């Protein structure tokens, strides 16, 4: 049994890619996408016809509507390969606008439903800003399930749980990146590996809190830099993994024991907390890493959304 098969014993494996032609060999249950992954995919020769066809079918519509059509077109292809759900992201430029995020989510879900895909197979991705979390609260009440992304802090996770969000995606690798860069020459890789990795520790804390208090929101570790981070989170509800790291797991027969366990989490000494808007914003602001990485993530996704629009605009 290889490491990927071992991981699947404890954790739902999700593929983190827009390249749906790579998916079948790893047999993930779900798949996640984001503007950066879709932008990367549409620039490959294999996917250029798909982009051209989506643009042709929606020619004459507003640019943002065509972008959504392209994202959904990739999602539909992914759903032909995976048996579970696909995550499709709302434009990051709407991260601080609850009403517009809800409207954009409705449009995306409508495109899927027009193609015969039920809501149970769709996760709407929103940034874990206060406004994004409130948009998710509204959507969840409507039966539209959400994946809250760009999550770097404990307060974001608690607020998502309180909002009844279906799933969160804490970003392991980007947390690791920040602490490594901040430490500079003082960084000790060996001392900060495995369960001591700052990104791993963040997910472990969130997972323990959710299981301790019976919060049903699923935890899906994301943004991995190496298989060691993945191994340290074996047992997490879900892990979304790039094809490159899936291949490494599949190619190794090294042991991969369970690390996170709900029964053990229930015995942890943890105190319940709650956040309103003011305390949430203060807690997030008080976490320099989370503040930096949330802002940076929104900027990066927004920039790639603009590049995708430019590619589409050139074909209109």
pLDDT averaged over 10-residue windows placed end to end, the chain, 316 residues: 97 94 92 90 88 89 93 94 96 98 98 97 98 98 98 98 98 98 98 98 98 98 97 98 97 97 96 98 98 97 94 82
Neighbours of 158 (CB within 10 A): 22
Angle at 29 between CA 27 and CA 35, to 5 degrees: 100
Q: What pLDDT shows up at residue 46? A: 87
Pick the CATH number of 3-313 from 3.20.20.210, 3.10.129.10, 3.20.20.70, 3.40.190.10: 3.20.20.70
Catalytic (active site) residue 307: no
Residue 248, Cβ neighbours under 10 Å: how many? 17
Output the pTM of the full model: 0.96
pLDDT at 316: 65
Tell me the sheet residues that pair with 148: 126, 168
Handedness of CA 94, 140, 38, 225 (dihedral sign): positive
Q: What is the pLDDT of residue 22?
A: 86
What ranges do the domains of the chain cover? 3-313
Strand partners, 122: 86
CB 245 within 8 A of CB 252: no
Closest CA to 160 of 181, 142, 177, 135: 135
Contact 124, 108 (CB under 8 A): yes
The one catalytic residue among 8, 125, 211, 293: 125
Cα pseudo-dihedral 107, 66, 301, 210, rounded to 10: 20
């Amino acid at each position: 049994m290889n490491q990927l098969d071992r991981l699947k014993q404890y954790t739902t494996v999700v593929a983190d890619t827009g390249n749906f032609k790579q998916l079948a060999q790893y047999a993930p249950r779900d798949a996640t996408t984001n503007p950066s992954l879709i932008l990367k995919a549409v620039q490959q020769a294999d996917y250029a016809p798909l982009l051209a066809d989506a643009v042709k079918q929606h020619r004459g519509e507003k640019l943002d509507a065509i972008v959504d059509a392209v994202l959904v077109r990739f999602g539909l292809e992914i759903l032909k390969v995976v048996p579970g759900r696909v995550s499709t992201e709302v434009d990051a430029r709407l991260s601080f606008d609850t009403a517009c995020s809800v409207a954009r989510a409705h449009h995306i879900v409508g495109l899927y439903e027009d193609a015969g895909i039920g809501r149970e197979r769709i996760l709407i991705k929103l940034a874990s800003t206060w406004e994004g979390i409130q948009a998710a609260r509204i959507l969840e009440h409507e039966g539209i399930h959400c994946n809250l992304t760009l999550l770097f802090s404990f307060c974001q996770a608690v607020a998502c749980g309180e909002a009844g969000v279906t799933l969160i995606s804490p970003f392991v690798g980007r947390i690791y990146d920040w602490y490594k860069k901040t430490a500079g020459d003082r960084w000790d890789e060996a001392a900060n590996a495995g369960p001591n990795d700052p990104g791993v520790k963040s997910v472990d804390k969130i997972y323990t809190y959710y299981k301790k208090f019976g919060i049903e929101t699923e935890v899906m570790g994301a943004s991995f830099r190496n298989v060691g981070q993945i191994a340290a989170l074996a047992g997490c509800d879900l892990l979304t993994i790039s094809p490159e790291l899936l291949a490494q797991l599949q190619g190794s027969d090294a042991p991969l024991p369970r690390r996170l366990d709900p029964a053990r989490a229930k015995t942890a000494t943890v105190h319940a907390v709650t956040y309103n808007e003011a305390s949430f914003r203060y807690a997030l602001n008080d976490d320099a890493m989370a503040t930096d990485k949330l802002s940076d993530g929104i900027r990066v996704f927004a920039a790639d959304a603009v590049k995708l629009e430019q590619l589409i605009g050139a074909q209109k």
